[in-house]
Amino acid sequence: DIVVTQSPDSLAVSLGERATINCKSSQSLLHSSHNKNYLAWYQQKPGQPPQLFIYWASTRDSGVPDRFSGSGSGTDFTLTVSSVQAEDVAVYYCQQYYDTPYTFGQGTKLEIK
Amino acid sequence: EVHLVESGGGLVQPGGSLRLSCAASGFTFNIYWMHWVRQVPGKGPVWVSRISTDGSSTSFADSVKGRFTISRDNAKNTVYLQMNSLRVEDTAVYYCARVAAGYDYWGRGTQVTVSS
C-alpha cells in the first residue's frame, strides 16, 4: 500500500498569516502517461464529511477560495493557505488516488493562534 | 445538485450483519465508480471498498475482505455494502463517495457501532 504522511499534526496560525501543510508519499504519485499527480486535499469540519478542496495536486475544486493552493510533484506535496481566516479552522487531509487502497494522511488540525 | 444519502447503520453485536445503502441523485449514476470509506472519530478516513460502473469489478480493504461485499443497482441509483461477521473494530462512520479525481462528493455518513 502507498503510505501518505502529513506534517505537522497540528498547526496554530494567527489570522491573516500563512499556513503550510506538508504531505509525503511512499512512492511517486505522478502518472507518466498524462503528467498528473494523483493527490487530493480535503477539509473536514466537525460533524461533516471531508470536502474535496484540491485535486491533481494543484487544481482547486469549484467554490474553494483562492487563498488555498496546492503544489508539489512526485512524492512531496504542500497545501498552503495564504491568509488564514477563522472559517479555515478544520482538519486537512491529503489522499493519494494513484492506486487502491486509496490512502489518506493522518490529518493536520489547523487552529487560530 | 448531487446528493448521496447513506442509510442502514446502527448498533449490532459482534458477529452480526448490516447492509448499508447509498442512494444517489443529481447525476448520471451509472458512469461513476463508487467507494465506501469509513472513519473513526478523531482519525483519518480509511478506504473500505469500491465498485465499477457496471458492478463487474470490486475490491476491498484487507481488513474487510471475505466479510464485506459491495454491489450496485443502477436502475435504483443505489450502491450497497453488505457487512457480515462484524467486529468491534468495524465501528465507524461509513461514507459513500463518488469517484472523480479523488472523491468529489461524499454522503453525510451512517454510524455503525459493533458492541455487545
Average pLDDT over residues A100-105: 94
Give whole-number Cα distances, A71 to A57, A60, A77, B6, in Å: 6, 11, 6, 33
Residue B40 pLDDT: 97
Neighbours of B112 (CB within 10 A): 21
Which residues in chain B have Cβ-Cβ distances shorter than 8 Å to A51? 106
Q: Does B50 touch chain A (CB under 8 A)?
A: yes
Residue A34 pLDDT: 87
Residue B107 pLDDT: 98
pLDDT tens, B3-19? 999 999 999 999 999 99
DSSP string, B53-87: TTSS-EEE-TTTTTTEEEEEETTTTEEEEEE-S--
Residue B14 pLDDT: 98
Average pLDDT over residues A6-29: 97
Residue B22 pLDDT: 98
Which residues in chain A have Cβ-Cβ distances shorter than 8 Å to B106? 49-51
Average pLDDT over residues B86-100: 97
pLDDT tens, B30-77? 999 999 999 999 999 999 999 999 999 999 999 999 999 999 999 999
Average pLDDT over residues B96-101: 96
Residue A77 pLDDT: 98
In the stretch 66-95 of chain A, residues with CB closer than 8 A to chain B read: 93, 95
Q: Does A60 touch chain B (CB under 8 A)?
A: no
Terminal alpha carbon distance of chain A: 36
Which residues in chain B have Cβ-Cβ distances shorter than 8 Å to A92? none
A40, A100, A105 ranked by CB distance to B102: nearest = A40
Residue A67 pLDDT: 97
Residue A32 pLDDT: 86
Half-sphere exposure of A6 toward its Cβ, with a 13 Å CA cutoff? 27
Residue A49 pLDDT: 97
Residue B11 pLDDT: 98
Contact B107 A102 (CB under 8 A): no
Residue A111 pLDDT: 97
What three-state secondary structure class fits B94? strand
Pairing mode, strands B10-12 and B110-114: parallel
Q: Does B108 touch chain A (CB under 8 A)?
A: yes
Lookup result for grid cell 448531487: B2
Q: Does B11 touch chain A (CB under 8 A)?
A: no
Rounded to an integer, what distance in angstroms lies between the CA atom of residue B68 and that of residue B78? 17
Give chain B's mean pLDDT. 97
What three-state secondary structure class fits A18? coil
Banded pLDDT at A71 (limits 50, 70, 90): very high
Give chain A's mean pLDDT. 97
